[in-house]
Amino acid sequence: MPLIVAALIAGSLGYHALRGDRHDAGQCPPLRPGTNNAAADYQDMLVWHGATYVVDHDASDQVGIGTQVTTVGCSIAELTRTNHQLVGPPPWPDRTATFLPSGTPVFSVQGVRTACELAVARDRAAVVYASGRGGC
């Protein structure tokens, strides 16, 4: 039995090292077994404080970026590209993003509550993600 446990732990550590993860295990949604080489379309979104923020294509890219509030901990694009499996359905853990790379800084938007909007700096402009929560 100890040999099996050691092999499982070593295999898990090797798996995460092979993927080049910059986040701890458990911060990504679980993979769905039996979905090898499956394809899925995702919106550009991220999860933070239990809310899903979707990219707002109508927002100005000239909004003021505020302070950093978090970083992306799990990239679905990186996870599925490496494992060739689908992830489990939402809700997903905080700091999960569909397209943003792991480690991407996420900022507040100046003058807007973080419960409503977040921003990511991309190509010298801001990309705004809106939560769609009531009261925003």
In the block, residue with structure tokens 């009531």:
134
Query: Token pair of 6, please?
Result: 């050691």
Cα torsion 4, 10, 14, 16: sign: positive
pLDDT for 131 equals 96
Domain that residue 119 falls in:
24-130
Per-residue pLDDT of the chain (136 residues; tens, 9 = 90+): 333 333 223 333 333 333 333 334 348 888 887 777 666 778 899 999 999 999 998 888 789 999 999 999 999 988 888 777 888 888 899 999 999 999 999 999 999 999 999 999 988 889 999 998 888 8
Per-residue model confidence (pLDDT) at position 18: 31
Whether 112 is covered by a domain: the verdict is: yes
Asked whether residue 33 is assigned to any structural domain, the reply reads yes
Residue 136, domain member (yes or no):
no
> What is the predicted pLDDT for the residue at 8?
28
In a domain, 18, yes or no: no
Q: Which DSSP string corresponds to 20-74? A: T-SS-TTSSPPB-TT-TT------SEEEETTEEEEE-TTS-TTPPEEEEEEE--E
Domain annotation covers residue 10: no
- Amino acid at residue number 117: E
Give the pLDDT score at 37. 63
Q: Would residue 9 count as lying in a domain?
A: no
**Does residue 17 sit within a domain?**
no
Q: In sequence order, what are the beta bridge partners of 109?
A: 65
Structural domains of the chain, count = 1
CB 108 within 8 A of CB 71: no
Residue 3 within any structural domain of the chain: no
Residues in the chain: 136
Report the C-alpha gap between 44 and 106 in whole angstroms: 14
Spatial contact of 43 and 57, defined as CB atoms under 8 Å apart: no
Report CA 103 to chain centroid distance, whole Å: 9
